[in-house]
Amino acid sequence: MQFSARLVGLWNEELEAPPVSDPYDLKPHIRTVKDYPIAGVEFRDITSLLETPAAFVTACNAMTNICRDFQPTTVVAIESRGFIFAGPMAHELSLPFVLARKPGKLPNAAFSRSFDLEYGSTALEIQKNTAIGSQDRVVIVDDLIATGGTAMGCAELLNEDFGVPKESILVTALINLPALQGSAAIHAAGYQAQTIIAYD
């Protein structure tokens, strides 16, 4: 599948946020499920977007453009919904596609990083034999940034265990929940973050 045929416009060279919260009109394709997975949480359900080919292609194109502007050498996908977007992005850019998985799901020895989430805690692992080093520019892909715990855990793993400089790590996601301060925390830690959609 060729995603380049419908690539949307690049944002500026500084990778600043787009001027509106939904520049590609994707919110109508995302359901909001209240009190899931626990009471008080509004879950942004992307399955309806995935079921709409034009919306899914637009989302992949927009995220791919962020990556293209950053000039990465590797795409790292966060389990599990990050896999959905990172695969097409890595394919379009002809880049290595690395999995950051939950504990116990990788066959080889792995570096691990624990972190807190909006409603719990977990860890991510990347295999130690993965060909990532200090010379690389890495894009981390997920579907959503909430508190930023998942993305920060992955970024810290890449920085501290694989030696990737902070300025060479970009977190990209389809959705940002800025009220939870995750994207702000990522920037404050010295990493870059860019998303397509923002919810108040």
Q: Are 195 and 176 in contact (CB under 8 A)?
A: yes
Closest of 119, 120, 109 to residue 161, by C-alpha: 109
Q: Are 141 and 92 in contact (CB under 8 A)?
A: no
The pLDDT value recorded for residue 119 is 66
The pLDDT value recorded for residue 20 is 65
* Architecture in CATH of 71-198: 3-Layer(aba) Sandwich (3.40)
| CA atoms of 96 and 89, how far apart (whole Å) | 10
The pLDDT value recorded for residue 152 is 95
The pLDDT value recorded for residue 128 is 98
What is the pLDDT confidence band of residue 116, given thresholds at 50, 70 and 90? confident
Note the pLDDT tens digit of each residue in 131-157. 999 999 999 999 999 999 999 999 999
Q: β-strand 169-176 against 97-100: which pairing, if any?
A: unpaired
Asked if residue 99 has pLDDT above 90, the reply is yes
- Per-chain mean pLDDT for the chain: 89
Note the pLDDT tens digit of each residue in 55-87. 999 999 999 999 998 999 999 999 999 999 999
Higher pLDDT pick, 10 / 83: 83
Note the pLDDT tens digit of each residue in 172-199. 999 999 999 999 999 999 999 999 999 9
Neighbours of 31 (CB within 10 A): 12
| CA atoms of 192 and 84, how far apart (whole Å) | 21
Q: In what order do the strands lie in the sheet with 169-176?
A: 97-100, 74-78, 138-145, 169-176, 192-198
Q: What percent of the chain has pLDDT over 70?
A: 89
Q: Dihedrals φ, ψ of 62, to 5°?
A: -60, -45
Asked if residue 4 has pLDDT above 50, the reply is no
Sign of CA dihedral 5, 69, 138, 16: negative
Please report the DSSP string for 120-175 in residue order.
EEEEEEEETTS---TT--EEEEEEEESSSHHHHHHHHHHHHHS---GGGEEEEEEE
Note the pLDDT tens digit of each residue in 16-54. 444 468 999 999 999 999 999 889 889 999 999 999 999
So which residues are the catalytic ones? Answer: 81, 118
Asked if residue 1 has pLDDT above 70, the reply is no
The pLDDT value recorded for residue 7 is 34
Q: State yes or no: cis peptide before 80, omega within 30 of 0.
A: yes
